[in-house]
A and B are shown apart, each in its own frame.
Chain A
Amino acid sequence: QMNFTGDQVLRVLAKDEKQLSLLRDLEALKPQKVDFWRGPARPSLPVDMRVPFSELNDVKAYLKSHGLAYSVMIKDVQVLLDEERETMAKSRR
């Protein structure tokens, strides 16, 4: 099982098309690192992206430097995954 300890899901609210394209650029800047759970679509919709722990500082610095407002939707992905697996095991028992 892949481990996602420390990975976070950031919710970014892009104000306009320019900011959306900055987020699309991120996929090219960090190939196979940033995992868009909700991809950059339109300014009225949030963008959710899972960022590996090792990339968090870079990505947050990138967002800040481009004035992209974000919140932390999931603080540690692995914590939720562990809960999910425990719930499944309990149900199976």
Chain B
Amino acid sequence: LERSTASFSYSSYHTLEEIYSWIDNFVTEHSDIVSKIDIGKSFENRSILVLKFSTGGSQRPAIWIDTGIHSREWITHATGIWTAMKIVSAYGKDHVLTDILKAMDIFIELVTNPDGFAFTHSMNRLWRKNKSSRPGIFCIGVDLNRNWKIGFGGNGSNKNPCSETYRGPSPQSEPEVAAIVDFITGHGNIKALISIHSYSQMLMYPYGHSLAPVSNQEELYNLAKDAVDALYKVHGMEYIFGSISNTLYVASGITVDWAYDNGIKYAFSFELRDTGRYGFLLPASQIIPTAQEMWIAIQVIMTHTLNHPY
């Protein structure tokens, strides 16, 4: 395993072990601004790790970013790692980011579904769910983005354990979801949540479980538009945007709906590249351009959050 982040390739895909080793090196090398928090154990008892970026203070308003909740979406973990490195290298140089970190903390959970991700490397590259199993249930795994306690069991989730969108036996039944819920509710001051998926090039906000508009729909629409416009300027990639139920499909029990209904006004879900050539098998050569454009869009959302305290 690499001895430092210097020789780590940010334009390649990596195994779970390599990512966890990178996290340890990264935190050691940037201990002035980054720390590692273990927020729980996955179903197969792997650590669930969160990176905290902070320049001081305590219980500061914060931004939460997660990648990899669907394990086959490898581009999301890879862009998350690049983003973490970008934050430490831009702090003190990029005034937008520096202003954000002077007032807020940033949390990044790079591997939200470690068991599923390990499985994509060992057995089934196209595995999406986690790896939970229960007596009497024939199929393995729950779709972690249908297991949240918001609209649980509604349209756009499946009660069939063999389905790719199986919601699980009950809300937050999955340790990977419960760990985030406990962390975010325990922290109590998360002001924006950004959940990164792939693919189809979209930037979406709640609700997914209902067609009803959220109370600050206009603000979220305009913010998403600004973010998508900024993203386009980087490499000319077109993203569509809007509420999940109006832009994509009705989906129940999802992360951003839970976040929104738990007081996080700025909750977004990205669907990264690609347009329809490689799908989940996006070549590693597209990791950095995808991360670069995503970073610009995330900065727009973070700056808005900073400038609109609540």
Contact = CB atoms under 8 A, between A and B. Distances in A.
Interface of A: 1-2, 4, 9, 11, 31-32, 35-42, 45-46, 48, 50, 73-74, 77, 80-81, 83-84, 87-88, 91-92
Contacts of B200: 38, 45
Given A2-B123, A2-B126, 7 more contacts: A11-B276, A32-B139, A32-B162, A37-B280, A73-B276, A73-B277, A84-B13
A35 B126 contact: yes
17 contacts: A1-B122, A1-B125, A2-B124, A4-B126, A31-B162, A32-B139, A32-B162, A41-B249, A42-B248, A45-B200, A45-B248, A46-B276, A74-B278, A84-B13, A88-B12, A88-B284, A91-B12
B281 interface: yes
Contacts of A73: 276-277, 279
Contacts of B58: none
Contacts of B248: 41-42, 45
A83 B200 CA distance: 22
Contacts of B122: 1
Contact of A74 (B14, B125, B249, B279): B279
A36 B158 CA distance: 14
A42 B211 CA distance: 14
Nearest to A11: B276
Contacts of A2: 123-126
B164 interface: yes
A88 B121 CA distance: 11
B24 to A, nearest CB: 18
Interface in B11-26: 11-14
Nearest to A87: B284
Contacts of B12: 87-88, 91-92
B216 interface: no
A87 B278 CA distance: 15
A31 B160 CA distance: 11
Contacts of A45: 200, 248
B13 A80 contact: no
A48 B124 contact: no
Given A42-B249, A48-B276, A88-B12, A80 B281 contact: yes
Contacts of A40: 249
Interface string B269-292: 000000011111101100000000
A80 B279 CA distance: 11
A37 B271 CA distance: 12
Contacts of B284: 84, 87-88, 91
